[in-house]
Amino acid sequence: MTKYFSELWKHNRQTPALLWSFIYFFCLLSGYYVLRPVRDAMGASSEVEAVFPRAMIDFFAGHGIALQDLILQVLATCTFILVLIAQPLYGALVSNYARRVFLPVLFGFFIACLLVFYALFNTQVSGRGMAFFLWVTVFNVFSVSVFWSFMADVFNSNEARKYYGYIGAAGTIGAFTGPILTRNLAEELGIANLMLVSAGFLSICLLCIWRLRKWAVQRERQAGKDNESAMGGEILAGLKLIAKEPLLRWIAAMVFLGVGIGQLLYNQQSVIAREGFATAEERTAFYAGIDIAVNVLTLLVQLIATRWLLSRWGLAPVLLIPMGALLIGFAALTASPLPMMVGIVLVITRSNEFSLMKPGRETIYTRVDRQWRYKAGASIDTAFYRGGEISFSWIYKGLSVFGSQTVFGVGLLVACVMTFCSLGVLREARKLPETELPGST
């Protein structure tokens, strides 16, 4: 760890933007991971009135549907609908306003929402769980997508290969810090006060955005561009780009299936948590423990392997190594779907996404223009990500009738198709220039 920070400081003296990017991603994921265990506890809750509004419970009960049996499925469906509504709003924001406007506005909105949730959890309003679950999910998708798009403005392709490992590790340290805070504070301070802790981290993100802007402007001027102006273009340009470009289609398919595999594991883990823990605070602490395990493994991989693999070998190993782990993990679950094995495969799968696959995919966006970064990338991280979530949440519900071995057998088949998609990404990525073309917009 000492060697890691020594190398980070050495690189930062050459590229000062690296340290601010490090702080930005650390605070962003710290703020999110303070909230994530609360969200997961709501999804695994046995207290249906804490999750859904009373009127909604009564409406479904009047039609013979017990919401307590469909908590995750209903939440996933509502999340997908909300993302579909939010996506064109986001597209309008990035099309019509300069980066210096829409980035602070986005984070200011997130902070204001946290203050509202502080009041809701303090007063124990019925339905607070659903509102919070939906908001946290949308917040995570858009904030992380915008972060990596902004990084592609700050760093060129060669710098990305050298520095994204460090930046990814910053996020992992933040993702490790957040659940530790939650695990220690949830029962002592209560869930409401965790909203204020997260808001504090997001306020620091605003400072980092302001400081990083000058390096983004400097890099773009060197490339003969002016990305401080509004981006322009159509609101739904991201979806049109995905339909047009083979590389984006392969990335979208890979993300859709990857989320689906994670959703099979997540739903099974939710059943385990619901049966094993009685209160929201206990479930929150349990999920915080899972997050800690994920982030410890992620940090180890990032410190030892991510930067070395990306700088020496490029994209191939950071996509194919996780594919191999998925195939082995789901083969083991199909043969022996024990609760402990579910937890192990869940931790490894999430760790591989954060430590290898996500940094690898994001290096692609340093070699393309802003429409790909801010619009197509965001569309993949919203519509396709949440589309995979809702689809496989309901698929899990249907498959679970036949037992967990059937669930994981289907997961193994999906992992095979996802591996094929990753090969498609690699093939198309080789056709891109090594750096973004000067003058592209």
Q: What is the DSSP secondary-structure string of 325-382?
A: HHHHHHHHHHH---HHHHHHHHHHHHHHIIIIIHHHHHHHGGGS-HIIIIIIHHHIII
Is the confidence at residue 373, as pLDDT, over 70? no
Name the band, by pLDDT with cuts 50, 70 and 90, for residue 201. Answer: very high
- What per-residue confidence (pLDDT) applies to 326? 92
Please tell me the distance from the alpha carbon of residue 353 to that of residue 189, in angstroms, as a whole number: 32
* CB-based contacts of 158, cutoff 8 Å, min separation 6: 434, 435
Question: Given this model, what pLDDT does residue 437 score?
Answer: 43
Residue ranges per structural domain of the chain: 2-429
Would you place residue 426 in the very low, low, confident or very high pLDDT band (cuts 50, 70, 90)? very high
Average of per-residue pLDDT across 413-425 = 95
Q: What DSSP string describes 262-288?
A: HHHHHHHHHHHHHHH--SHHHHHHHHH
- What architecture is domain 2-429? Up-down Bundle (1.20)
Give mean pLDDT, residues 21-47.
85
- 220 vs 363, residue with greater confidence: 363
Long-range interactions of 388-391: CB distance < 8 A, separation 24+: 388/255, 388/256, 388/257, 388/258, 388/259, 388/260, 388/263, 389/76, 389/79, 389/80, 389/259, 389/260, 389/263, 390/76, 390/77, 390/79, 390/80, 391/256, 391/260
Q: Which of 49-53, 91-95, 118-122, 153-157 has the lowest mean pLDDT?
A: 91-95
Confidence of residue 208 (pLDDT cuts 50, 70, 90): very high
| CA Rg value for the chain | 21
In the predicted structure, residue 202 carries a pLDDT above the cut 50: yes
Report the pLDDT value the prediction gives residue 224, as an integer from 0 to 100.
58
User: Which two structure tokens, joined as six digits, stand for 324?
Assistant: 């191999």
Higher pLDDT, 24 or 167: 24
When pLDDT is averaged across residues 250-261 and rounded to a whole number, the result is 93
**Predicted local distance difference test score (pLDDT) of residue 94:** 66
Q: What is the mean pLDDT of residues 181-198?
A: 83
Instruction: Dump pLDDT digits (tens) for 299-323.
Output: 888 778 887 888 788 889 999 999 9
pLDDT band at 7; cut points 50, 70, 90: low
Residue 431 pLDDT class (50, 70, 90 cuts): confident
Give exposure, 64-102, as e/b (b: 16+ Cβ within 10 Å): eeebeebbbbbbbbbbbebbeebbeebbebbbeeebeeb
**Most confident range, picked from 135-144, 321-330, 336-345, 348-357:** 321-330
The rounded mean pLDDT for the chain is 81
Percent of the chain with pLDDT over 90: 22
Q: What does the pLDDT read at residue 24? A: 93
Within 13 Å, how many C-alpha atoms sit on residue 150's CB side? 32
User: Which of 107-121, 144-158, 180-194, 206-220: highest mean pLDDT?
Assistant: 107-121
Residue 441, pLDDT score: 40
- pLDDT at position 330 is 93
pLDDT level of residue 293 (50, 70, 90 thresholds): confident
In the predicted structure, residue 371 carries a pLDDT above the cut 50 = yes
Which residue has better confidence, 381 or 31? 31
Rounded to an integer, the average pLDDT of 231-245 is 69
pLDDT average, residue stretch 222-226: 58
Least confident of 194-208, 291-305, 365-379: 365-379
pLDDT score recorded for residue 222: 64
